[in-house]
Amino acid sequence: MFASLYNFAHWLTQNREEAEDLVQETYLKAFKGFASFQQGTNLRAWMYRILRNTFLTSRTGLSAKMTDPLDLDEGPAAMPVTSDTPESMLLARADQQAVLSALELLPVPFREVILLCDMEEMSYQEIAETLGIPIGTVMSRLSRARKSMRDLLAAKMHGASK
């Protein structure tokens, strides 16, 4: 669970050291508040909720509606070894960078549902528990976030074809 929490924290904070601090603070708060954890409920969602709330409260004036651009200093993920041509590999890397760039432009509420659903592979119920919102809101935000991603990518492709 540590690696998943760290990945989510890194996406939120844009900074390796801040992400490490955020995860450490999350574990500390979870340990101190473990008596409030209800047995039989989702521990993973509880931990993500602590991390998210810690992140939001650590940012003076940050609201869930603000956009928080990300700095991807690590570059794109390594491509798997295949028999692809150098040209197809270059295009795939460019596509991946376009997706990451579009993700950076999304408002935090949209970005976090995409990250939790598509990268952390949480169920809608887990996302709802993590974010403290109704499952219908999760579904709505995810739908709007994916539409925004499609629109951003289409605009980029349209701009690149000129």
Task: Give the pLDDT of residue 44.
Answer: 87
Residues of the chain with CATH 1.10.10.10: 80-162
| Degrees, nearest 5: CA angle 36-42-45 | 90
Domain 80-162 top-level CATH class: mainly alpha
Task: Give the pLDDT of residue 7.
Answer: 87
Work out the percent of the chain whose per-residue pLDDT is above 90.
21
Burial 115-142 (b: 16+ CB within 10 A, else e): bbbeebebebebbbbbbebeeebbeebb
Residues of the chain with CATH 1.10.1740.10: 1-63
- pLDDT digits over 6-40, tens only? 988 888 887 899 989 999 999 999 888 888 888 88
Task: Name the CATH topology of 1-63.
Answer: Rna Polymerase Sigma Factor; Chain: A (1.10.1740)
- pLDDT digits over 45-56, tens only? 889 889 988 888
Query: What pTM value is reported for the model?
Result: 0.56
Whose tokens are 């596509």? That residue is 95
Q: What is the pLDDT along the chain (162 residues), one digit of tens a residue?
A: 778 889 888 888 878 999 899 999 999 998 888 888 888 888 888 898 899 888 888 775 444 434 344 344 444 444 444 455 665 555 556 667 777 788 888 888 998 999 899 888 889 999 999 899 999 999 999 999 999 988 988 887 777 655
